[in-house]
């Protein structure tokens, strides 16, 4: 697979983003959803900010309560907590993955005329606005339906769990809240860009903690708010690049061969790669083909090293004829981009079927 990475990579790093909160530092500008609006490429960046701690032994945890930002101080040598994963704070002896996140994320827009040089908005576009978002909002995806309506779904995190929420915008300045669309824990929702047989479809990635499964499911809806008829779509593999988890990446792309879904897979050791999936045009609950080998894996230094290394994670792209420009988060830190040929992806999927 030919992957033309942009020479400017990484395109956006935390150094390019001014902190929104006083006394905080930006540690991530990554995992952006993508939209094309009025001749501009918009990146809906996940900006992660962390309170600066003057005392190295104290870690400050940002939390929202009734819309107010509070900082919880925890001593690094407190034996009740495990700080080994930089993204989270784990409570020793607990079955839960985490008790707190180490940063607060929100969504901020970067805008570009040429798709290469971006200007970042001064303030957030989506900042946590309800109690389901007390730990932050992450990893937006944007589906354009019709000429004017852009639906943005994102992960809302709080002490109640990880859920997905939906808003609608027509101008990328204001939005209409459409509520929470999937129960906890669920993330990586990808809404298809058109109705199929009069129903909307969405991919999702629920977590079954009892069976330790992190697979892709597919659901249907009549109004984008109430989702049902859930079906299992894709397993993790036994011992391959996607044996730890799989989850949708880009809004599915209509091609003559089927719906092309560029998704992520990670190993149990958290190496995140991107792969391709082909779904039936008329019935996307049917998988026609799946990448055996990843399309793309962490190779460049900015993909291998960062806040959380060995991660390429795309949440959006722009299709122009056969060219797919993929905007992808690298190492939970920055944004990069590359170009791929859609027909090449499709022929690789076909050749792997034989």
Evaluate whether 316 touches 251 at the Cβ level (below 8 Å).
yes
Q: What does the per-residue mask of binding to ligand MAN show for 112-151, with x meaning CB under 6 A?
A: --------------------------x-------------
Tokens of 177: 């809240």
Q: Report the residue closest to ligand MAN, judged by CB.
A: 87
Indicate whether 157 belongs to the interface with ligand MAN (CB under 6 A).
Answer: yes
Tokens of 295: 């399309």
Identify which range of 3-11, 155-163, 206-214, 235-243 contacts ligand MAN by CB under 6 A: 155-163
State in angstroms the smallest separation of the CB of 346 from ligand MAN: 30
State in angstroms the smallest separation of the CB of 31 from ligand MAN: 9
- Which of 34, 59, 101, 315 contacts ligand MAN by CB under 6 A? 101
> Residue 259 or residue 328: which is nearer to ligand MAN going by CB?
328
State in angstroms the smallest separation of the CB of 28 from ligand MAN: 9
Indicate whether 162 belongs to the interface with ligand MAN (CB under 6 A).
Answer: yes
- Which of 21, 60, 87, 90 contacts ligand MAN by CB under 6 A? 87
Size of the site for ligand MAN (CB under 6 A): 7
Indicate whether 310 belongs to the interface with ligand MAN (CB under 6 A).
Answer: no
Indicate whether 204 belongs to the interface with ligand MAN (CB under 6 A).
Answer: no
> Residue 88 or residue 145: which is nearer to ligand MAN going by CB?
88
State in angstroms the smallest separation of the CB of 119 from ligand MAN: 26
State in angstroms the smallest separation of the CB of 138 from ligand MAN: 5
The contact set with ligand MAN (CB under 6 A) reads 87-88, 101, 138, 155, 157, 162
């Amino acid at each position: 697979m030919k992957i033309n990475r942009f020479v400017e990579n990484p395109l956006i790093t935390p150094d390019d983003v001014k902190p929104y909160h006083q006394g905080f530092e930006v540690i991530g500008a990554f995992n952006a959803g993508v939209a094309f609006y009025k001749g501009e490429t918009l990146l809906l960046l996940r900006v992660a900010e962390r309170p600066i701690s003057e005392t190295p032994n104290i870690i400050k945890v940002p939390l929202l309560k009734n819309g107010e930002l509070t900082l919880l101080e925890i001593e690094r040598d407190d034996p009740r907590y495990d700080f080994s994963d930089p993204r989270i704070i784990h409570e020793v002896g607990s079955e839960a993955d985490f008790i707190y996140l180490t940063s607060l994320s929100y969504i901020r827009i970067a805008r570009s005329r040429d798709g290469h040089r971006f200007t970042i908005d001064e303030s957030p576009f989506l900042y946590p606005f309800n109690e389901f978002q007390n730990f932050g909002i992450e990893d937006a995806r944007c589906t354009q339906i019709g000429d004017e309506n852009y639906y943005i779904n994102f992960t809302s995190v709080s002490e109640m769990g990880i859920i997905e929420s939906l808003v609608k915008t027509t101008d990328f300045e204001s939005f209409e809240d459409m509520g929470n669309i999937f129960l906890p824990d669920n993330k990586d929702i990808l809404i298809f860009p058109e109705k199929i047989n009069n129903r909307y479809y969405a991919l999702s990635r629920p977590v079954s903690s009892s069976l330790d499964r992190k697979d892709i499911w597919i659901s249907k809806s009549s109004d984008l708010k109430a989702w049902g008829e859930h079906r299992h779509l894709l397993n993790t593999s036994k011992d391959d690049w996607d044996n730890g988890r799989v989850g949708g990446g880009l809004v599915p792309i209509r091609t003559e061969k089927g719906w092309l879904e560029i998704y992520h897979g990670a190993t149990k050791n958290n190496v995140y790669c991107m792969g391709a999936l082909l779904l039936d045009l008329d019935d996307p609950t049917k998988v026609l083909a799946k990448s055996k080998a990843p399309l793309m894996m962490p190779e460049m230094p900015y993909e291998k090293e960062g806040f959380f290394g060995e991660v390429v994670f795309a949440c959006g792209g722009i299709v122009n004829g056969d060219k797919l420009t993929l905007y992808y988060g690298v190492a939970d830190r920055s944004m990069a981009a590359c170009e791929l040929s859609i027909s090449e992806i499709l022929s690789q999927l076909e050749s792997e079927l034989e």
